[in-house]
Amino acid sequence: MPVILITGCSTGIGFATAETLARKGNTVYATMRNPDKAPELQKLAEAENLSITILPLDVLDDQSVETAVNKIIANEGVIDVLVNNAGVGSFGSVEELPMELLRNDMETNYFGTVRCIKAVLPYMRERKSGTIINVTSVAGKVYSNFHGAYCASKAAVEAFSESLAQETKPFNIRIALVEPGVIETPIFRKANAYPENMLYPNLKRFMSLFAASLENHVAPSVVGQVIDDIVTAKTNGFRNPAGPDALPLLSWRATASDEDWVNSVNIDDETWINFMEQGMGLNVRKYMETKGMPQFN
C-alpha cells in the first residue's frame, strides 16, 4: 500500500484525509506544526490501530520540511503520495488588510506547497513514480471581493500545478488538484478580525454567503474521499471539485463574463438575496437582515 505524506492534519480536511486514507490500509504520515497541541489524531490512530505516524512539519520552514521528509524516507524508503493541504485564509478589503496577512496567505498556501513539493520531488523523479495532490479551493477560480489574499494564493497553486504537471509527466509523476467548496472546518473560526467600520460595502454579503453555506454541514471527509479516489486512480482528472456546492460555484463563475462578474457587486441587496436563495439554494436573507455581521461559531 502507498506511503502518504499529508500536511496540515491537526484539524479539518487534513485530519479527515489522514483518517480516510489510513482506514483504507495506507501508511500515512500525518504532519502538523505542533503535534502536542492536537492529540486527537494520535488517539484515533491508537484506538483503531491505524497506520498513522504523526510528525512535526511547518510548511513555512525549509529545515522542518526537510527533516520530516528525510525521516519518512529513512523509515519507508519512499514517499508515494504527497497531499499538500496545510493552509490559512484571510478576508477583508485589500486596502484594509495588513500586508502581514496578505503575505501569510501566500507564504503558507503557495510557497508552503512549493516547498514540500521541492523536498519530495527528487525521490519521485528518481523512481519515476508518484502522485502529488494539491488542495486548492473553488476560490482558486472564483474570485470575490474581500477574499483577494486567499484567492490569489489558491490561484497561484492552480497555475503552478498545471505547469508542474507538464514537467513531471515524462517521469510518470501525476499532479492533481482538489477544489473544495465550502467545507465545515475550523478555518472560518481562525479567520482574522475585520475592522468595525469597513470602508468598503458588501462585506455582509460575503459573510452571509459563507454563513448560509455552512448550514449545509459538509464534512471534511467529503474532501478526504475525493483524495482517496485520486490515490486509488478511481478518477484521473487533473481538477477535482469536492463538495456539493463546488461545481455550482465554478459553473456560476464560468458562465459570467469578466465584466458582468465585476459589475455584479453593484446589484441591490434584494436582488442579490433572491439570486442566492433561488439560484444557489442558500438561505442568506436571515443573515442579511440580522443586525451586525454573521459569526462563524
Q: Residue 119 contacts by C-beta under 8 Å, 6 or more apart in sequence?
A: 65, 66, 69
Our answer to whether residue 150 is catalytic in this structure is yes
Residue 65, C-alpha cell as written in the block? 520540511
Of the pLDDT bands very low, low, confident and very high (cuts 50, 70, 90), residue 296 is confident
Give pLDDT, residue 297: 63
Question: Residue 153 is part of which domain span?
Answer: 3-192+217-245
Give pLDDT, residue 99: 97
Choose, from 150, 194, 200, 287, the residue flagged as catalytic.
150
The answer to the question of residue 291 being in a domain is: no
pLDDT value at 295 more than 90? no
Average pLDDT for 13-27? 98
Give pLDDT, residue 189: 75
pLDDT value at 191 more than 90? no
Give pLDDT, residue 143: 97
The answer to the question of residue 160 being in a domain is: yes
The answer to the question of residue 270 being in a domain is: no
How many domains is the chain partitioned into structurally? Answer: 1
Q: Residue 126 contacts by C-beta under 8 Å, 6 or more apart in sequence?
A: none
Query: Above pLDDT 90, what percent of the chain?
Result: 92
Assign residue 131 the CATH number of its domain: 3.40.50.720
**Higher-pLDDT residue of 191, 174:** 174
What tens digit of pLDDT does each residue of 222-271 get? 999 999 999 999 999 999 999 999 999 999 999 999 999 999 999 999 99
DSSP category for residue 275: I
Specify the range with the lowest mean pLDDT, choosing from 114-123, 269-278, 286-295.
Answer: 286-295
Give pLDDT, residue 195: 67
The answer to the question of residue 44 being in a domain is: yes
Tell me the backbone φ, ψ of residue 79, rounded to 5 degrees.
Answer: -125, 110
pLDDT value at 188 more than 90? no
Give pLDDT, residue 38: 85
Of the pLDDT bands very low, low, confident and very high (cuts 50, 70, 90), residue 293 is confident
The answer to the question of residue 41 being in a domain is: yes
Of the pLDDT bands very low, low, confident and very high (cuts 50, 70, 90), residue 82 is very high
Burial 32-71, CB ≥16 within 10 A → b, else e: bbebeebeebeebbeeeebbbbbbebbbeeeebbebbbee
Give pLDDT, residue 30: 98
Average pLDDT for 209-231? 96
Give pLDDT, residue 158: 98
pLDDT value at 37 more than 90? no
What tens digit of pLDDT does each residue of 123-156 get? 999 999 999 999 999 999 999 999 999 999 999 9
The answer to the question of residue 208 being in a domain is: no
The answer to the question of residue 285 being in a domain is: no
The answer to the question of residue 73 being in a domain is: yes
